[in-house]
Structure 1
Amino acid sequence: MTEHIDVRTGVYYDSVTLLRITQAARSAPGVTAAQVAMATELNLDLARGMGFEVPADVTTNDLLITLRGDDQGAIDAGIAALEGALADAAAAGRAAGGLGSGPAPRTVRGAAASHPDAPLALLSVPGQYVLGEAMDAIAAGRHVMIFSDNVPIDDELAIKRAAAQAGVLVMGPDCGTAIVGGVGLGFANVLGEYDGQSVGVIAASGTGAQHVTALLDDAKVDVSHVLGLGGRDLSEQVGGMSALQALQLLGDDPQTDRILVISKPPHPATADKVRAAADQIGKPVTYVLLGPGQPTITDGVGAVLDDLGIAVPAWRTWNEAAASSAPGALRGLYSGGTLADEAMLVASGVLGDIRSNIPLSPELALPADATAAGTPDLTGLGNVVVDLGDDEFTAGRPHPMIDPTVRLDLLAAQAADPEVSVILLDVVLGHSAEADPAARLAPAIADALASAGRPLSVVVALCGTDGDPQGRDRQADALAAAGAAVYTSNAEAAQVAANLAAGRTLEGARA
């Protein structure tokens, strides 16, 4: 093995860009490990944990590049790949700045000054720096989308109070999905434009928003905007400040005829506040607030279609006959937290308790030693659903919607576990997601089924649209050809997977 360590002083890229650069380096032939990240203490610990000897004088203002490969040729290939990705990122930054070959603005204040007509600022900086940049954007009269996570709650409160006073919307922190006037920001699907009433979506959930809009698009329903809130907005402490602003904006928007609100369970007092505000805007509002006994995302979309007088379609499936009944454990390997929550809510109605790193109740949390190594060890834990996009699994490495390496390793481990009879996966398409998920996942599924040596089913919930750059039908066909049963409804996929694990036939599994 050959290693390469490089420290570049005074160079900064946001976390999303660095994830893509890391992915480019890891994809080079012969590269076995790679990390391109700002030299924060967390990332330094990760590099050390990967076995690299980090220079003692590195600082948080430095870019740390670590590569390991089979030989020097692999290292050279990795360096070439990351240099190309760095060059692409620099070119994109110059283009976004609208300044030709000149430097792009380095602060929100500078960007606002050079783009006086831009109504929205998108922030993707380390969480501890968000407060100042967000306040500058608000002072400039801009709406703000905060992609960054790890923002202190007190900073979020200060930002949202300032935004409320200024009459602008803050989406986030930790807001990964939005669509504003047809333009996707972060992880977003490509939606069509359709005649008839338009639905505006308010979402305290990234993959939940994507699933809602993908199903609406399947039913040929127009979506005007998707306004993200961040995962804490509907908590008691934040009190729905962004939700109230979003309701007002969509209520005043002539392109929005009705509104759908999707969230994990909000605090009851905050939910009451949001409902009271919604009652005053004069437009129909549908709520999908996931929780025990509450409608699924698919049910919520069906309710909107019913109100519009549109027949609820039979949500598409591929290769459903591949799903075979065999009593055993269900293992859900999810990249989307809300989709994982919904899968647990549905499956627990069939299988009972389901353990998770994001459990429905505290006593169902995975034991500490199951996640200590950074990749879950689910051996002997029975029915489990894991959110591999949770912070504990993405610290210092790409989100599984961008790089599926961790999930592919976990898929192989579940196939080798004789306790497991059904593996349930989500695949989320759209902008910013992996360019061709099936290219790596389909062979991994085929290998898992071939090597299991026992009845094993793989069920996939595919979240995407016909317009997505990955090609939804092409992805579905490849996954189905590998032996997976593919569903466009996550709730239906979870229902089938749970019933199969309970030993029911496919006909009974649909119930």
Structure 2
Amino acid sequence: MMKKIWIKKNEYRDSLFLMKLSNDISNWPGIQQAVIVMGTENNKQILEQVGLFDETASSASADDLIIAVEYSTERDASDLFRMIEEDMTVKKKPNLEKEYKNLTDALNGEKEARVVVISAPGEHVAPLAKEAITAGRHVFCFSHHVSIEDEIELKKLAIQKNLLMMGPDCGTSILNGIGFGFANRVRAGKIGVVSASGSGLQEVTTLIHRSGGGISHAIGVGGRDMKSPVDGMMSAKAVEWVSSSKETGVLVILAKSASAQAVKNVLSAAKKTKLPVVVDFHTTEEDRSKHEGVTFAQTFEECAQKALRLAGYPASFSAANVVAEKAWLEENQSRLRPEQWAVRGLFAGGSLCGEAAQILRSQGLAVETDPETYRKRQAAGHLLVDLGDEVFTEGRAHPFIDVRLRSLEIAKAFSDPSVAVVLMDVVLGWGCHPNPTGEIAQAVKKLSAHHKNRPAIVCTVCGTPDDFQGYAGQRRMLEEVGIFVTDSNASAARLTARLINSLRR
């Protein structure tokens, strides 16, 4: 096999486009692998990990395009480069019914559209969102790096106009059954959700769906909304908005963490609705005692269960398969070596990573979750990481979309002699990779063939049978390569803690 790296100076391409292009070229005859990326430091690390990094790649800037290919000696490098360039030129973006040159034209041309979706560099978001809100449209903003001052100003303006400002940094919402960002296909029903947690919203809504329940609306507000100084400004408005729907019979409110003022503001708005309310704010027992009539939950799983019961649905999903878990524990207790004792958590969902860390800590495990610490390997032991953190996604598609980074990190975990358990999530739905578990399963199968004492792997699949990827099929692909799949993220974390604690005895 030969390796060749080309640099195209000052040629920007979208990370999603490049991911698809890399996958396509990797399937050409005589191509072992192709990685086409922008020259960011994160992407250079990926090239190094797959053996396609040299001085040429090192010289690329973040504005340069790197084309790295491993190919058979039967192919001519010049012809290969020409074919890749041609492929880059002819590939089209999805056909659109209409295309507008700017937001003003789009607002004028689509007068019936009620929501404007913004995914732009953070410094450009404020004027775009302000224009949309002023025109009377709700805004769903996926973008990062928007200043906190701009966020507060935009949310105040939206509230004045009785509109929703979902974000910035909002990963998912469902309005009248229509998903925005990363969202799952869930049935309509009685439960309304307001969330400052993207993957948390997905976990709760999918658990509700798989139990036979349904969702009226699920509003994401962005990860900073429930923190100071925003203090639940849009969460309180979203509570009002969701509760005004005649379909909503129960309210669920989620946040990774919440300031005292945010809790006060949002629960005050919730109590005015006169609806049953379930919240997961990671609050203390003392805080919970101050809010009579509010049902508190400690995990997304518990949140879904309590909301289902309040809405009159059976909480029918199985939180634990006792027989299967017992067999899995016994197998790994006897199989794992004494030096295998650590957990490696490789998550695509930030809130799911946080929940797993919380559960492991509650079971006596010292867990590190700092992404920089993980990346630099400055700590040993139980490491859980959100691979969707900005530390990992600079110049690269989110791991919901691009599964390659996870496969590389799984390989690292297999090579670490201290790792006993790899704990993961897989998230399905609109916007996500069409077959995420297929690539993960393939990586695990290859690694298992070369690692006799492989770590145990526990995974949860966040999705529904109605998601286009197919929930049952995705689970089955993982199970076929020896991955233990649980019904919820919380259940996966608890099972992991049980195994680790049993190994320490």
Instruction: Tell me if TM exceeds 0.5.
Output: yes
Query: What's the CA shift for 1:302?
Result: 1.0
Does residue 334 (structure 1) correspond to residue 347 (structure 2)? The answer is yes
Q: Distance in 1 between the 2:300 and 2:388 partners?
A: 19
- The equivalent residue for 1:363 is none
Equivalent residue number for residue 100 of structure 1: none
Contact 1:290-1:342 within 8 A present in 2 as well: no
Distance 1:45 1:455 in 2: 28
Letter in 2 for 1:419: S
TM-score scaled to structure 1, two decimals? 0.83
Q: Residues 52, 203 of structure 1: CA spacing in aligned structure 2 closer, same or farther, 3 A cutoff?
A: same
Give runs of aligned pairs for residues 57-456 of structure 1, distance below 5 A.
Answer: 65-70=65-70, 72=77, 75-76=81-82, 78-79=84-85, 82-83=88-89, 85=91, 87-89=92-94, 91=95, 94-95=96-97, 97=98, 104-193=99-188, 198-290=190-282, 295-315=298-318, 320=325, 321-323=327-329, 324-325=332-333, 326=336, 328-357=341-370, 367=373, 370-372=374-376, 377=377, 381-454=380-453, 456=455
SS at match of 2:442: helix
Distance 1:22 1:262, change over 3 A: same
Deviation at 1:176, TM superposition (A): 1.2
Deviations, residues 348-388 of structure 1 (Å, cap 9, x unaligned): 12242101126xxxxxxx64xx524xxxx37x611111111
Query: SS at the partner of 2:185?
Result: coil
How many angstroms apart in 2 are the aligned matches of 1:357 and 1:345?
Answer: 14
Amino acid at match of 1:161: K
Give how far 1:204 is off. Answer: 0.5
Paired AA for residue 22 in structure 2? R
- Taking a change above 3 Å as real, the CA distance of residues 266 and 70 of structure 1, as seen in their structure-2 partners, is same
Percentage identity across paired residues of the two chains: 28
Q: Which runs of 5+ in 1 are unaligned?
A: 98-103, 359-365
Look up the match of 2:18: 22
SS in 1 for 2:272: coil
Cα distance in 2, alignment partners of residues 82 and 268 from structure 1: 51
- Please give the alpha-carbon distance, in whole angstroms, between the structure 2 residues aligned to 1:422 and 1:329: 7
Query: Cα 1:371–1:252, aligned 2, differ >3 Å: closer, same or farther?
Result: same
Cα distance in 2 for partners of 1:381, 1:153 equals 34
Instruction: Give, in angstroms, the shift of residue 311 of structure 1.
Output: 3.0
Give the whole-Å Cα distance in 2 for the aligned partners of 1:465 and 1:215: 8
Q: 1:457 is aligned with what amino acid?
A: A
**Structure 1 residues 199, 113: CA separation in 2 closer, same or farther (over 3 Å shift)?**
same
Residues of 2 paired with 1:401 and 1:78: CA distance? 26
Supply the distance in 1 between the matched residues of 2:155 and 2:16 (Cα, whole angstroms): 30
Secondary structure of the corresponding residue to residue 275 of structure 2: coil
Between the two proteins, the alignment pairs up a number of residues equal to: 464
AA matched with 1:371 = R
SS in 2 for 1:454: coil
Letter matched to residue 261 of structure 1? I
One-letter amino acid of the counterpart of residue 33, structure 1 = V
Residue-by-residue CA offset, 1:223-272 (whole Å, 9 max, x unaligned): 11111100111112112121122111112112222211111110011111
Q: CA deviation at 1:155?
A: 1.2
2:303 aligns to what SS in structure 1?
Answer: helix
Q: Is the 8 A contact 1:137 1:143 kept in 2?
A: yes
Task: Report the equivalent of 1:476.
Answer: 475
Contact in 2 for aligned 1:234/1:266 (Cα 8 Å): yes
SS at match of 2:93: helix
C-alpha distance in structure 2 between counterparts of 1:435 and 1:250, whole Å: 30
What is the deviation of 1:220?
1.0
1:44 CA displacement: 11
Q: Runs of 4+ in structure 1 displaced over 6 angstroms? A: 41-50, 53-56, 316-319
- State the alpha-carbon separation in 1 of the partners of residues 444 and 163 from structure 2: 46
The structure-2 alpha-carbon separation of the partners of 1:291 and 1:501, relative to structure 1 and needing over 3 Å to count, comes to: farther
The answer on whether the counterparts of 2:44 and 2:57 sit within 8 Å (CA) in structure 1 is no
Closer, same or farther: CA 503–255 of 1 in aligned 2, 3 Å:
same
2:367 aligned counterpart, secondary structure: coil
SS at 1:21's partner residue? helix
The CA RMSD over aligned residues, in Å, is 3.0
Q: What displacement does 1:413 show?
A: 1.4
By how many angstroms is 1:24 displaced?
A: 1.0
- Tell me the CA shift for residue 64 of structure 1: 5.2
- What is the CA–CA distance in structure 2 between the aligned matches of 1:111 and 1:202, rounded to whole Å? 28
CA distance in 1, matches of 2:395, 2:137: 30
Instruction: Verify the 8 A CA contact 1:107 1:133 in the aligned structure 2.
Output: no
**Residues 1:304 and 1:382: Cα distance change in structure 2 (over 3 Å):** same
Tell me if structure 2 keeps the 8 A contact 1:317–1:486.
Answer: no
Q: Distance in 1 between matches of 2:44 and 2:122?
A: 18
Deviation at residue 455 of structure 1 after TM alignment: 6.2
Offset, 1:52 = 3.8
SS in 2 for 1:190: coil
Could you say if the C-alpha distance between residues 481 and 268 of structure 1 is closer, same or farther in structure 2, counting changes exceeding 3 Å?
same
What SS class does the counterpart of residue 105 from structure 1 fall into?
coil
CA deviations over 1:254-293 (Å, ceiling 9, x no partner): 2222211111110011111110111112222211223677
Alignment CA distance shift 1:384-1:501 (3 Å): same
What secondary structure is seen at the aligned counterpart in 1 of 2:180?
strand
Relative to structure 1, the CA distance from residue 44 to residue 334 in structure 2 (aligned partners, 3 Å threshold; closer, same or farther) is closer
Q: TM-score, normalised by structure 2?
A: 0.84
> What amino acid sits opposite 2:21 in the alignment?
A
Return the alpha-carbon distance in structure 1 between the equivalents of residues 276 and 88 of structure 2.
49
Aligned partners of 2:448, 2:328: CA distance in 1, in Å?
11
Higher deviation after alignment, 301-310 or 233-242? 301-310
Aligned partner letter, 2:281: L
CA contact (8 A) 1:337 1:387 kept: yes
Q: Secondary structure at the match of 2:363?
A: helix
| Compared CA separation, residues 464 and 74, structure 1 to 2 (3 A) | farther
Kept in 1, the 8 Å contact 2:42–2:392? The answer is no
User: For residues 220 and 152 of structure 2, what CA distance do their matches in structure 1 show?
Assistant: 16
Counterpart Cα distance in 2 of 1:299 and 1:65: 46
Letter in 2 for 1:357: D
- Mapped partners of 2:386, 2:476: distance in 1: 25
CA contact (8 A) 2:176 2:217 kept: yes
